[in-house]
Structure 1
Amino acid sequence: MKKGYLYIILSTILFSTMEIALKISSSSFNPIQMTFLRFLIGSLVLITPAVSALIKRGIRLCIKDLGYFALTGFICVVVSMVFYQLAILNAPASFVAVLFSCNPVFVVLLAFFFLNEQINKSTVISLTISFTGIMFIMNPFKMSASVQGIVLTLLAAITFAIYSVASRGRSKQFGGLVLTCFSFIFGSAEMLVLILITKISPVASFLQSAGLSTFSNIPIFGGITLQNIAPLIYIGVFVTGLGYAFYLLAIEVTNASTASFVFFIKPALAPILALIILREKISVPMIIGIICLLAGSSFSILPGVIGKPSLNCAADEKDEQA
């Protein structure tokens, strides 16, 4: 059990520094390139334990399984994490960290509409408090982030919630480690294909003329230097790779509900770290929003105290943080 709490502490620290590390590296890499590199590196970190898990479960992947991983990888890496990386460029790291952490709210709503999962009184209270927190964080009367940054962060959170819901049906079959690793692998491969397409001269010229130079002639490994390789390794190996590994190990040693405290703590810890490292201010509306999100999350993360076990959307968060 002590080992489990160590895994929780390590994954919490790593996940809470994700936006900060990406913000620091944002000037050194194309955002699409960064997304590709970090998930490629992260998948390489996870591949050995993932294959071992497959062998242990006696699972042989078929074409249908690979198609499923291609779909989840596309939703997670190509769509959600590109929105997420672009949000990092257009909003403070603390803002993105806290607002993106609300994606379980969208998971509950999507699961209700598409999986017919029940929403009862406790869930309604949780959603109401969480949405109140979201409004305080966005602070429409005095926004700390640009409209573009807000929209991109919300799109990242919503599409990640779609990935989480799409992952629910097969997570028990494969396990979180296998599903996460192979989604990363296929998502990275799809990103590589799209990057190569942007290098085709007519495509590159069209994107540039359309004012989309960020998506034109995207580098793959270009721009990596001795000065910026350390942050890249930290983001790929530690945050994206080991962060997931420690979290999934925490689930195995403890349980999903206990391990989900990683994402209960992150909305509070990430802004503090951003204040210390990036000197980003924490506004009063942000503090109120964080408190609301923590209160709303408690209805899901602490079902035995406040809600019901069937409403533990945090148990599904093993697939919800990129």
Structure 2
Amino acid sequence: MKKTVLYILFSTVMFSLMEIVLKSTGDAFNPIQINWIRFTIGGIVLLPFAISSLRIQGIMLRWSDLKLFATTGFMCLLVSMTLFQLAIMYDQASTVAVVFSSNPVFALIFSYIILHERLGRANLIAVILSIIGLLVIVNPTHLNNALGLVLSISSALTFGLYSIISRYGSIKRGFNGIVMTCFTFLVGAIELYVIMLITHISAVADKMKQVSWLRQFSNIPVLTNVNGHFFWTLFFIGVCVTGGGFAFYFLAMERSNVSTASLVFFIKPGLAPILAALLIGDKIAMTTIIGIVIIIAGSVVTFMGNQRRESGGSMQES
């Protein structure tokens, strides 16, 4: 149990520091570039765990699995994480962290729509509380940074969709979370690299430069600023946060259960803003604090509901 607690604590701190460290890089890296770097490193870090898991399960990867990983890689890296990086550029790290932590709520909604899974009372209450919390943080009557919030919410929503697609694929093929995540990262990184190369084609780059909001995606750098000066930053983002954070999250899940491991995402909305205020001076508005409390309350309801459902399932099996 002590190891499980340590795994959860490590993952929670890493995920809570993610937006802060990414924000601290400033303009040194293009948002697409930093995505490609951190998920390539993260996928490589997870690869030994994924290979070991496949061997234990006796599962062989098939060429048809490439389509699944290409879909989840596209949704996770190219869509959700690109929106996430842009949100960090245009909004406070603390706000992005809290809003993105609501992605399990969107996952619940998509699980109902796509997988036709019934929303229990606890999950329904959690959805309502999280939406209220988001509205309090967003404060539609006094929008100071509409773009940043739209990007944050879009990132959380699409990550929730990715989670359900990933879950559908894992159920269909029998892959566990660490295998799905590892190959999603690696295949998604390859897709992202191809996109980055396309932006270097003269005709494409010239067209993108003519559109104001597309200019930053023209001639996306690949290894610019990947040097000794940023070594520890990239090491922390790639190895500790992306690779290590997910690895220890899934190790915690294997040693306990899904609801216990999910404490990582329940604690993050409260911890990330505090760390952002201490480390990079983010100011936390009173409405943000109230919204955080409401979202955490929704998370606690989800956790308790999952615990009750899992204990009920265990009793039925016994």
- Same fold judged by TM-score > 0.5? yes
**What is the TM-score with the length of structure 1 in the denominator?**
0.92
| Aligned match of 1:82 | 82
- Give the alignment partner of residue 216 of structure 1, picking from 200, 215, 218: 218
| 1:241 to partner: Cα distance | 0.4
> Given residue 158 of structure 2, which amino acid in structure 1 is its aligned partner?
T
| Aligned match of 1:315 | none
Q: Do the aligned partners of 1:36 and 1:188 also contact (CA within 8 Å) in 2?
A: yes
**Superposed, which structure 2 residues align to 1:254-269 within 5 Å?**
254-269=256-271
- Give the alignment partner of residue 280 of structure 2, picking from 278, 281, 286: 278
**Superposed, which structure 2 residues align to 1:118-197 within 5 Å?**
118-143=118-143, 146-172=145-171, 173-197=174-198
| 1:303 to partner: Cα distance | 1.5
| 1:157 to partner: Cα distance | 0.7
Alpha carbons of 1:311 and 1:139: their partners in 2 closer, same or farther (altered >3 Å)?
A: farther
In structure 1, how many angstroms separate the alpha carbons of the residues matched to 2:112 and 2:286? 33
> Given residue 249 of structure 1, which amino acid in structure 2 is its aligned partner?
L
> Given residue 206 of structure 1, which amino acid in structure 2 is its aligned partner?
K
In structure 1, how many angstroms separate the alpha carbons of the residues matched to 2:188 and 2:143? 33
In structure 2, how many angstroms separate the alpha carbons of the residues matched to 1:2 and 1:311? 25
Q: Give CA deviations for 1:260-285 in whole Å, capped at 9, x if unaligned.
A: 11111000000000000011111111
> Given residue 270 of structure 2, which amino acid in structure 1 is its aligned partner?
A
Q: Do the aligned partners of 2:178 and 2:247 also contact (CA within 8 Å) in 1?
A: yes
In structure 1, how many angstroms separate the alpha carbons of the residues matched to 2:48 and 2:131? 40
> Given residue 201 of structure 1, which amino acid in structure 2 is its aligned partner?
S
In structure 1, how many angstroms separate the alpha carbons of the residues matched to 2:52 and 2:24? 35
User: What SS does the aligned partner of 1:280 have?
Assistant: coil
In structure 2, how many angstroms separate the alpha carbons of the residues matched to 1:112 and 1:33? 34
Q: Give CA deviations for 1:157-204 in whole Å, capped at 9, x if unaligned.
A: 111011011011233511011000000001000000000000000001
> Given residue 216 of structure 1, which amino acid in structure 2 is its aligned partner?
S
In structure 2, how many angstroms separate the alpha carbons of the residues matched to 1:60 and 1:293? 40
User: What SS does the aligned partner of 1:63 have?
Assistant: coil
In structure 2, how many angstroms separate the alpha carbons of the residues matched to 1:105 and 1:129? 10
| 1:140 to partner: Cα distance | 2.1
> Given residue 81 of structure 2, which amino acid in structure 1 is its aligned partner?
M
User: What SS does the aligned partner of 2:238 have?
Assistant: helix
Alpha carbons of 1:269 and 1:311: their partners in 2 closer, same or farther (altered >3 Å)?
A: farther
Alpha carbons of 1:221 and 1:192: their partners in 2 closer, same or farther (altered >3 Å)?
A: same
Identity %: 45
In structure 2, how many angstroms separate the alpha carbons of the residues matched to 1:7 and 1:309? 21
| Aligned match of 2:105 | 105
| Aligned match of 1:58 | 58
Q: Do the aligned partners of 1:28 and 1:228 also contact (CA within 8 Å) in 2?
A: no
Alpha carbons of 1:92 and 1:69: their partners in 2 closer, same or farther (altered >3 Å)?
A: same
| 1:48 to partner: Cα distance | 1.1
Alpha carbons of 1:60 and 1:180: their partners in 2 closer, same or farther (altered >3 Å)?
A: same
In structure 1, how many angstroms separate the alpha carbons of the residues matched to 2:30 and 2:20? 16
| 1:300 to partner: Cα distance | 1.3
| Aligned match of 1:287 | 289
| 1:115 to partner: Cα distance | 1.2
| Aligned match of 2:239 | 237
Q: Give CA deviations for 1:235-291 in whole Å, capped at 9, x if unaligned.
A: 011000001111111111122111111111000000000000011111111111011
> Given residue 170 of structure 1, which amino acid in structure 2 is its aligned partner?
G
Alpha carbons of 1:120 and 1:57: their partners in 2 closer, same or farther (altered >3 Å)?
A: closer
**What is the TM-score with the length of structure 2 in the denominator?**
0.94
Q: Give CA deviations for 1:72-108 in whole Å, capped at 9, x if unaligned.
A: 0110011100000000000000000000111111111
Q: Do the aligned partners of 2:123 and 2:305 also contact (CA within 8 Å) in 1?
A: no
User: What SS does the aligned partner of 2:64 have?
Assistant: helix
- Give the alignment partner of residue 303 of structure 1, picking from 302, 305, 308: 305
| Aligned match of 1:320 | none
Q: Is 1:228 the equivalent of 2:227? A: no
Q: Do the aligned partners of 2:98 and 2:292 also contact (CA within 8 Å) in 1?
A: yes
| Aligned match of 1:319 | none
Alpha carbons of 1:174 and 1:153: their partners in 2 closer, same or farther (altered >3 Å)?
A: same
Alpha carbons of 1:250 and 1:121: their partners in 2 closer, same or farther (altered >3 Å)?
A: closer
> Given residue 141 of structure 2, which amino acid in structure 1 is its aligned partner?
F
| Aligned match of 1:206 | 207
